[in-house]
């Protein structure tokens, strides 16, 4: 049986389930208590589980991540909320130099079950530092895992997958999708760990993306279909490790791949997908793998974000270019 | 002269007990100590210094890539560590070699890091809750604070049960006090009233930069600024280090919140063996601190209490034995198998690790005879 809910609610329900299942799970972050977070994703959880399970912290991202590490050392499973994508950098050192390396430094005797939730991406018309897509920094860091759901159903299950992980997980939440509704099946068996998924089948071009971009890829595929082009869409879901098999299989089928992301394209998750497809599907390709991304500039003022961010038109333009080879 | 009237000193550089306004409340902790217990303080300091000298020699002889000397800081470290209970968790920086040894870490494990064979690797659970070294300056203060937050959440402080109540002690240096993480750790500790002691070894130098560049205020007053009761001690006085640490750990374990101790000490050697202190500090300063050596004054004190020459000979021999032991074993340490690089990056299975491990194994196998 499925229920209709927003992604924000699905994340809330996923965390509620995790808090109820395991008394060692803690939520911590800025304004996540009575306010329920600036996006209300943790709404009602402190009232339900108390302020020893859902902690409003001082306003310090390095402090949040650093103390979460200590809490994990003492046997807890902290889930940290970073308020906005662009505010993660004060915590970057603790994430990359400590959190990501502690299991290796301990030669495997210490697990680091810490989740760091990051609302990310554009399309909300916000001020500087509030619309960024910093996932590549973390995908580049050994020791971390990265997940990013595109639908409420995936969000409900993937946040629980992240909390159950014994490794640190960066959980990137596409904030422009928080209020989009979708069907959530709480009775299903969940989803396979770190799996990508074909969300629309097609035969001529493969579009690959993650997070908020996935719904745009589906729109592009629909418009392309009206013009007679059959487009397949793959949702990465996991950015580290990337589940390449479905992507490579799709590339072998269609021969043309376009990778789309909000983040700047230079040295990005999309670059890795392009390189791996080239390595593993070389003889199937009819065109070079193309990328559509945010430009390699700082995220611009909001009135320019529609220019900066990938759009359906830019995606269809890339589809046309791929087909022209 | 860094000491002030507020600096707690129980044993003077001349080796006599100090009775002052600052010392009075702490002297009872020392009065309870037996001669055997006091000799144990000395044994740790003397053996440690011998280990430190040997490790520096091994570096000079090419057996270690680097050594981080602790010469001069023995009293701060030994006194505070002996004040901790077995259940307390100690988070070091990277110069607390003697505490590692006191908590059961094989000294060869410490040396293996500086030989380039590991990044630490002991299990704190198996080594009396002595956590791994942290090389990024000040980062461990947040880990310690988080651990102490966990103790509070688990109800392991302030219960009144002396075997159950637990505290955390974190070691850091004067340079690290300029790091944001140290300030954030004190913010969180004060906010959540964690059962922990911040133990600052002010050795007066952050590599080549004097503490005057880090702070215009005595560093223990920083703690006060965060709402943490703070005290400054003569860190070259092992009795002050022990007594003040014990009083503050007791308070932390009792659920009275965090405490801050600034131990005034001095790094007699280089920051590391890569450094040349003669380029940035005067011999007169070194001479000042040599007069306040932690081992010399305690030696005098113990002899005044009637310790026998046999005791001093015995601990000197113990230090020599340890030096000989590490000198022998250091060259016997094996280089880890290359595949171990991939083994513990993640706790759960990871396809990229599996693929790269297999690729490296195939590559290495391609050089074997017959391939």
Distance of CA B72 to the CA centre of its chain: 12
Q: Which residues 22-41 of A are in CB contact (within 8 Å) with B?
A: 26
Last residue of a domain, which of A185, A212, A245? A185
CATH code (residue A210): 3.40.50.920
- Is B171 one of the catalytic residues? no
* Residue A192 domain-assigned (yes or no): no
Using alpha carbons only, give the angle A110, A113, A114 rounded to the nearest 5 degrees: 125
| Closest Cβ–Cβ partner in A93, A112, A241 for B352 | A241
The b/e string for A123-141 (b: 16+ C-beta within 10 A; e otherwise) is beeeeeebbbbbbbbbbeb
User: Cβ–Cβ of B139/A94 closer than 8 Å?
Assistant: yes
Which residues, listed in sequence order, are joined to residue A81 by a DSSP beta bridge?
A: A29, A117
Contact A174, A118 (CB under 8 A): no
CA of B160 vs chain A CAs: smallest distance (Å): 21
**How sure is the predictor about B281, in pLDDT bands with cuts at 50, 70 and 90?**
very high
Average per-residue pLDDT in chain B? Answer: 96
* Residue A191 domain-assigned (yes or no): no
- Is B297 one of the catalytic residues? no
- The string of pLDDT tens digits covering residues A290-302 is 999 999 999 999 9
Tell whether A145 and A24 lie within a shared domain: yes
Q: Is the pLDDT of residue B252 over 60?
A: yes
Tell whether A220 and A277 lie within a shared domain: yes
Which portions of chain A are predicted below pLDDT 50? none
| Closest Cβ–Cβ partner in A71, A94, A167 for B348 | A167
CA of B47 vs chain A CAs: smallest distance (Å): 27
The order of strands in the sheet holding A257-264 is A197-200, A231-235, A205-209, A257-264, A290-294
Contact A219, A271 (CB under 8 A): no
CA of A1 vs chain B CAs: smallest distance (Å): 31
Q: What is the pLDDT of residue B370?
A: 67
- The string of pLDDT tens digits covering residues B42-97 is 999 999 999 999 999 999 999 999 999 999 999 999 999 999 999 999 999 999 99
- Is B267 one of the catalytic residues? yes
* Residue A190 domain-assigned (yes or no): no
Q: Is the pLDDT of residue B369 over 90?
A: no
- The string of pLDDT tens digits covering residues B282-338 is 999 999 999 999 999 999 999 999 999 999 999 999 999 999 999 999 999 999 999
- Dist CA A113 CA A25 (whole Å): 10
CATH code (residue A83): 3.40.50.970
| A112 contact residues in B (CB cutoff 8 A) | 347
DSSP letter assigned to residue B365: H
Tell whether A151 and A230 lie within a shared domain: no
- The string of pLDDT tens digits covering residues A59-118 is 999 999 999 999 999 999 999 999 999 999 999 999 999 999 999 999 999 999 999 999
Tell whether A248 and A223 lie within a shared domain: yes
* Residue A224 domain-assigned (yes or no): yes
Last residue of a domain, which of A164, A185, A206? A185
Tell whether A170 and A205 lie within a shared domain: no
Strands A77-81 and B89-91: unpaired
* Residue A285 domain-assigned (yes or no): yes
Check if A59 contacts B (Cβ < 8 Å): no
Is the C-alpha dihedral spanning A175, A180, A186, A191 positive or negative? negative
Q: Searching chain B, which residue's CA lies closest to the CA of residue A67?
A: B146
Domain count, chain A: 2
**How sure is the predictor about B371, in pLDDT bands with cuts at 50, 70 and 90?**
low
Last residue of a domain, which of A185, A212, A227? A185
Of the candidates A106, A129, A130, A140, the residue annotated as catalytic is A130
- The string of pLDDT tens digits covering residues B166-181 is 999 999 999 999 999 9
Q: What is the pLDDT of residue A176?
A: 98
* Residue A140 domain-assigned (yes or no): yes
Of the candidates B271, B292, B297, B301, the residue annotated as catalytic is B271
CA of B165 vs chain A CAs: smallest distance (Å): 15
Mean pLDDT of B214-231: 96
Backbone angles phi, psi at B201, to 5 degrees: -95, 100
- Residue ranges making up the domain that contains A168: 2-185
């Amino acid at each position: 049986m499925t229920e209709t809910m927003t992604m924000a609610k699905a994340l809330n329900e996923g965390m509620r389930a995790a808090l109820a299942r395991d008394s060692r799970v803690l939520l911590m972050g800025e304004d996540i208590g009575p306010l329920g977070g600036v996006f209300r994703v943790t709404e009602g959880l402190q009232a339900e589980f108390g302020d020893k399970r859902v902690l409003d912290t001082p306003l310090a991202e390095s402090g949040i991540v650093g103390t979460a590490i200590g809490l994990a050392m003492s046997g807890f499973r902290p889930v940290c909320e970073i308020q906005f994508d662009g505010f993660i950098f004060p915590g970057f050192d603790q994430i990359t130099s400590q959190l990501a390396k502690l299991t290796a430094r301990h030669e495997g005797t210490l697990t680091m079950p810490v989740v760091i939730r990051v609302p990310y991406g554009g399309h909300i018309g916000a001020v500087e530092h509030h619309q960024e897509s910093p996932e590549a920094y973390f995908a580049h860091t050994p020791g971390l895992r990265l997940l990013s759901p595109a639908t409420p159903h995936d969000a409900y299950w993937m946040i629980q997958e992240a909390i159950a992980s014994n490794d640190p997980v960066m959980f990137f939440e596409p904030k422009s999708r928080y209020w989009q509704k979708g069907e959530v099946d709480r009775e299903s068996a969940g989803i396979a760990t770190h799996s990508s998924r074909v969300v629309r089948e097609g035969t001529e071009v493969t579009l690959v993306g993650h997070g908020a971009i996935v719904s745009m890829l589906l729109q592009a595929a629909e418009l392309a279909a009206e013009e007679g082009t059959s487009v397949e869409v793959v949702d990465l879901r996991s950015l580290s490790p990337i589940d390449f098999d479905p992507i490579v299989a799709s590339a072998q089928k269609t021969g043309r791949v376009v990778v789309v992301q909000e983040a700047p394209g230079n040295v990005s998750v999309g670059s890795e997908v392009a390189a791996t497809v080239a390595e593993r599907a070389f003889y199937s390709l009819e065109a070079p793998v193309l990328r559509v991304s945010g430009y390699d500039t700082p995220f611009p003022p909001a009135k320019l974000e529609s220019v900066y961010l990938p759009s359906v038109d830019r995606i269809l333009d890339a589809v046309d270019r791929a087909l022209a080879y | 002269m860094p000491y002030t009237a507020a600096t707690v000193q129980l044993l003077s550089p001349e080796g006599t007990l100090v009775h002052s306004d600052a010392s009075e409340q702490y002297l009872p902790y020392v009065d309870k100590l037996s001669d055997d217990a006091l000799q144990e303080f000395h044994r740790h300091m003397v053996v440690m210094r011998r280990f430190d000298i040997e490790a520096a020699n091994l570096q000079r002889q090419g057996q270690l890539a680097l050594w981080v000397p602790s010469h001069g800081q023995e009293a701060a470290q030994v006194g505070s560590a002996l004040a901790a209970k077995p259940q307390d968790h100690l988070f070091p920086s990277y110069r607390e070699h003697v505490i590692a040894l006191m908590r059961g870490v094989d000294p060869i494990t410490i040396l293996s890091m500086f030989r380039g064979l590991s990044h630490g690797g002991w299990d704190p659970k198996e080594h009396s809750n002595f956590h791994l070294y942290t090389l990024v300056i000040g980062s461990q203060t947040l880990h310690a604070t988080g651990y102490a937050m966990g103790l509070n959440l688990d109800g392991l402080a302030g219960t009144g049960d002396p075997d159950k109540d637990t505290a955390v002690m974190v070691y850091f240096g004067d340079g690290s006090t300029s790091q944001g993480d140290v300030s954030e750790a004190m913010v969180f500790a004060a906010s959540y009233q964690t059962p922990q002691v911040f133990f600052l070894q002010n050795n007066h130098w952050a590599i080549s930069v004097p503490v005057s560049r880090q702070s215009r205020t005595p560093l223990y007053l920083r703690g006060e600024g965060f709402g943490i009761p703070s005290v400054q001690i003569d860190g070259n006085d092992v009795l002050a280090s022990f007594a003040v640490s014990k009083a503050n750990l007791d308070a932390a374990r009792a659920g009275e919140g965090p405490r801050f101790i600034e131990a005034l000490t001095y790094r007699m050697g280089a920051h590391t063996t890569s450094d040349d202190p003669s380029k940035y500090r005067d011999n007169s300063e070194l001479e000042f601190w040599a007069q306040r050596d932690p081992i010399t004054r305690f030696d005098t004190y113990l002899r005044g209490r009637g310790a026998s020459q046999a005791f001093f000979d015995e601990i000197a021999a113990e230090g020599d034995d340890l030096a000989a032991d590490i000198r022998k074993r250091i060259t016997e340490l094996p280089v880890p198998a290359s595949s171990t690089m991939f083994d513990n990056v993640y706790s759960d299975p990871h396809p990229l690790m599996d693929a790269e491990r297999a690729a490296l194994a195939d590559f290495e196998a391609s050089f074997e005879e017959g391939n």
